[in-house]
Amino acid sequence: MQKNTPENPQAEIKDWHRADVIAALKKAGLTLRGLSIAHGLSPYTLSGALKQSYPKAERIIADALGLQPENIWAARYAERAQKANNRLTAYSRK
């Protein structure tokens, strides 16, 4: 799977698979549970970011991997940017 990185901007906009996120954390010697606890959260809180949009959890995971959340969840962030652009466009038409 081609990951969305600055070196590969033409890759299809796609989120990392949840197994890829978990594997990257494992390679770094981390777990979702451990990160959750280290940040004062419930042990299972960060796993929510693997299933649905959860910006705070996405930021914690991305920081642990030395990445930006939009590199891991590119489709989510593209969708958020599109929604923001649509709101801005609608506002400017008034």
Tally of CB atoms within 10 A around 72: 22
Is 46 domain-assigned? Answer: yes
d(CA 71, CA 85): 20
Is 5 domain-assigned? Answer: no
Total domains present in the chain: 1
Tally of CB atoms within 10 A around 22: 17
Instruction: Say what the pTM is.
Output: 0.75
Is 85 domain-assigned? Answer: yes
Single-letter amino acid code for the residue at 74? A
Is 38 domain-assigned? Answer: yes
How does pLDDT run across 68-94, given as a tens digit for each residue? 999 999 998 887 767 766 766 766 666
Q: How many CA atoms lie within 13 A of 83 on its CB side?
A: 6
Residues 19-43 have a mean pLDDT of 98
Domain of residue 77, residue span: 18-92
Q: What is the CATH number of the domain that holds 82?
A: 1.10.260.40
